Structure 1
Amino acid sequence: MEGLAILCVLWAAAALCASEIAAEAQPPPVTNFSISMENLCTIHWQWSPPEGVNATCELWYDSQLGDDKDSRAISLNNFRTEEVALNERICLHVRTQCSVTSTNPSDAVEMCTVPPEGDPDSAVTRLQCIWYNLSQMNCTWLPGKTAPPDTNYTLYYWYSTLEKSLQCTNYYTEGQLIGCSFDLLKEKDSGSEKIQIMVKDAAGTIRPSYNITFLNSVKPHHPVITALSFQNDSLYVEWESPENFESNCLVYQVEVTDNKPELYRAEESKSKCHISQMPQELPENSKDKNCLVISDVDRDTFYTVRVRAKASKYCFEDRDLWSAWSPEKSIGEKPDPTFYTITLLSIPVAICISTLLLLLYLKRLKIIIFPPIPDPGKIFKEMFGDQNDDTLHWKKYDIYEKQMKEETDSVVLVENPKKTSQGRE
């Protein structure tokens, strides 16, 4: 009996080993591999099970997109559907195996898409889309390097609730960027929802460009400040949230400026808006709105306040897409611009006058401290030079007097004595 039991055990073990060997046998590869395109960026691969598979083998299909190991999937289905941007060649590798954890799969069979036609440098670049205020999708791009300047771009979009792709009609420009926006209002936020985008031209001169956009790049509309007041030594700021957002899906920044801007972070919380002494001018439902109380402020200072918002990481992917700043609101005593103008003009005038006075004072001080040293040459020149001049003066005077005396002498008449004596005779 013991020997018979041993034989049964050995027979069972052999049968088990034989079944395992049969299960681990390498199955043949798939056949009739085909590929088809749906919508704008949806690829559908399909294949047929191989023939001649062992009856004990339960076929599983191991598929992977190119070299991307994260895209590997093992399934019983003989097809696979993926949403992929078709800007380049996309290949799917499929192997068959007899179990989920098989270490002996079949040879891989590959099926690839055909890349878009046209010059790659003509395709648009920096194609990106932002979900604006949960109501509108804004897509922008830059023209390709070799695209003609007069290219007439066309944007098509598709998502799961549309029967077919639609063409965008609201085009605009932002500097060098070209953009188009279309309505996309959903009742519930879904970060897994995808939007398929394709941009090309009507003439077919540029290469089409594709993009898959998740509904997680969200940029809200700017908030609106509804109340601004002083509460004792605190500044009370109240604002309304943008539409379409739930109460816990936004965070805020409040900028308060007196002499320099200062940022305050305020997450939406109704409890923060409850203060003990509410001003009479605030609405009754202010406790249900967003607010921030800033302590230690000066009532005599002029403050300017504005608020902006972004989507919270608890609801969407945090991509730091802040909204535009809200319109500014001010409170406090505004400084008189005339006073500052006069002050600014007075400062340079006062500096110029002070400089002139200082220069004059320094010049006078220099003369007092360092008086001029007499020149000995001038002294001797005055001593001897003046005497020579006086001597010459007197010499000239004597000559002049002599000349004057000679001119004033009386004329003496002299008679010839001989002529007189002859006359007498």
Structure 2
Amino acid sequence: MPCASSHTCCRTSPPAPAEPRTSYLQMAPQRLYTLSVMLVWSCVVASSSSHIPVAPPRDLQITDPGLLGPLDIEWKPPPDVQTSSECTVKYKFEYRNTGDTDWKVIFTRRLKFRVGFDLSRTAEVKVQTLLEGRCTNGVEVQSDWISATFQVPLQGKLESQVQNFHCIYHDWEYLKCTWQPGLLAPRGAHYGLYYWYEGLDQAAQCDHYIQDHGMNVGCTLRNLSQAEYQDLNICVNGSAAATPLRPLYSTLRLHNLAKPSPPRQLVVSVSAAEELLVAWSPPGGQTPPQCLEYEVEVAEDLEEAKAAWAPVLTQMETACTIPRANQSHVSCVRVRGRTNIFCADQGFWSEWTQECFSVSRKEDKQLFILIPVILSLSSSLIIFMLIGQCKKRSSEGKPSEVSVRC
């Protein structure tokens, strides 16, 4: 076809079909994933490059100083560790007895500790290094753990150990511990009790044993005021001619074993409103009065053997007022004491006051008043009759010794 103008005419071929294009929305998840991976990798690389690896401590050792429970644990710093204004080295120390669920944790800069264990079980300890400061960009770096265990050589079978070991701190004055021979302990076994608390240079032996048929079955310890509110470690071991006996280890807290004497001078009176006014004095001994609480109970018809003691209140004061539920019945009050929650986690109740106070019925009171009067009148009448008989016999000439017998 000729050109209609001077311009060069170009024949255009039909356009090729367009290739499919991936939309931006379809590419976004893939690009985000790639970007996230790159960011995480860069953070890891940067973090690893800024952290200084730290080695664990060395030469972890456990030593038994012979104090019936406390063990000495010590270690040495990791090699090539340096402390400066830019870096701080600490240690995380954990310990427990085998069988315990939780570890006890201590953060420290020290290299030696003395901590208490139950020596009848294996002691477990572990420690790691903690590095922190400008040298680690403020991030705490932890080393691997090093660990160690310790077990006192326990001789004899478990059934040879003393049984029913029980201790009471009476009146905050003396500790009385008792036990029974082990099931496999032979006749004639000899037992000894040893104890230690912070302040003693070494473990001491009981000097006042309780015996049964020549065998030590208990011990009384006095002068333990310095051991209050701290661990008192005790070991009861035994020896026999042919049978090794397993020792018993125990850690006590005296304030949780305290048992006071009963309250003193219990006084009960009746008010004009027919209420019971109860007052008493704290027990004797060394029990701190501010460490005591009291329980008060009351009963009705105690003399008829049908009474049931009912708790009224628990308080720290030494006096209270109790309304009488039934004024026609005989009432009786008793009181006992124990260490309160401000001085102990637990404790033993004292014995009840040995005598309770009874308030009689009104008609009983009237009867008690009439009985002496009736007895007095009866006696006077009998004496008068006897004197009359004596005079009559005398007038009839009876022997004089009869009048003497009268």
**Could you tell me the TM-score, scaled by structure 2's length?**
0.63
Distance 1:257 1:33 in 2: 63
Larger deviation: 309-318 or 246-255? Answer: 246-255
> Is the 1:304–1:328 contact (alpha carbons within 8 Å) kept by the matching residues of 2?
no
Answering whether residue 156 of structure 2 is matched by residue 118 of structure 1, we say: yes
Per-residue Cα deviation, 1:50-88 (whole angstroms, up to 9, x for no partner): 323356664322222257543122211111211222112
Change (3 A) 1:324 1:119: same
1:114-140 residue CA offsets vs partner (Å, 9 max, x unmatched) = 342222221123434332221122223
Mapped partners of 1:111, 1:266: distance in 2? 47
Please name the residue that 2:300 is paired with. 258
Which of 59, 63, 71 is equivalent to 2:104? 71
Separation (CA, whole Å) in 1 of partners of 2:60 and 2:289: 53
Which residue in the other structure is 2:198 paired with?
160
* Pair 1:199 & 2:236 matched: yes
* 53-62 vs 157-166, greater mean Cα deviation: 53-62
Report the counterpart of residue 210 of structure 1 in structure 2.
249
CA distance in 1 between counterparts of 2:83 and 2:233 reads 43
Cα distance in structure 2, aligned partners of 1:34 and 1:262: 55
- Judged with a 3 Å threshold, the aligned counterparts in structure 2 of structure 1 residues 116 and 58 are, in CA distance, closer, same or farther, namely farther
Distance 1:263 1:246, change over 3 A: same
Task: Please tell me whether the aligned partners of residues 38 and 44 of structure 1 are also in contact (alpha carbons under 8 angstroms).
Answer: no
Which structure has the larger Rg over C-alpha atoms?
1
Residue in structure 1 matching 2:169, options 117, 126, 131: 131
1:225 to 245, 265, 274: 265
Instruction: Give the 3 Å change call, closer, same or farther, for CA 154–113 of structure 1 in structure 2.
Output: same
Q: Which residue of 2 aligns with 1:183?
A: 222
Aligned pairs for 1:11-30 within 5 A = 20-22=50-52, 25-30=53-58
Per-residue CA deviation, residues 153-190 of structure 1 (Å, 9 max, x unaligned), is 2111122233332222444479xx94322114538x95
Name 2:358's counterpart in structure 1.
331
- Displacement of 1:28 after TM fit? 4.2
What is the correspondence of 1:22-171 to structure 2 with a 5 Å cutoff? Answer: 22=52, 25-31=53-59, 33-53=61-81, 58-66=88-96, 69-99=102-132, 102-171=140-209
The one-letter code of the counterpart of 2:172 is L
Measure the CA separation in 2 of the matches of 1:305 and 1:169.
41
Count of residues in correspondence between the two structures:
295
- Residue 268 of structure 1 corresponds to 316
Cα RMSD, aligned residues only: 3.4
Change (3 A) 1:83 1:333: same
Shift of 1:199: 0.3
CA–CA separation in structure 1 for the residues paired with 2:47 and 2:327: 89
SS in 1 for 2:78: coil
Question: Percentage identity across aligned positions?
Answer: 25
1:295 aligned residue = 323
* Contact residue 167 and residue 176 of structure 2 kept, 8 A: yes
When residues 173 and 294 of structure 1 are mapped into structure 2, their CA distance, relative to the original with a 3 A threshold, is farther
Task: Kindly state the Cα deviation for residue 195 of structure 1 after the two structures are TM-superposed.
Answer: 0.6
Aligned counterpart, 2:339? 311
In terms of fraction of residues, the more helix-rich structure is 1
Matches within 5 A, 1:350-369: none
Structure 1 residue identity aligned to 2:262: H
In the alignment, the residues of structure 2 paired with residue 170 and residue 145 of structure 1 have an alpha-carbon distance, to the nearest angstrom, of 24
Q: Which runs of 5+ in 1 are unaligned?
A: 1-15, 270-289, 337-425
SS class of match (2:182): coil
Q: 1:21 to 1:298 in 2, by over 3 A?
A: closer
Structure-2 residue corresponding to 1:237: 278
Give the whole-Å Cα distance in 2 for the aligned partners of 1:231 and 1:17: 82
Distance in 2 separating the partners of 1:19 and 1:38: 48
- CA distance in 1: counterparts of 2:47 and 2:299, whole angstroms: 81
Q: Is the 8 A contact 2:126 2:145 kept in 1?
A: no
Q: Is the 8 A contact 2:62 2:150 kept in 1?
A: no
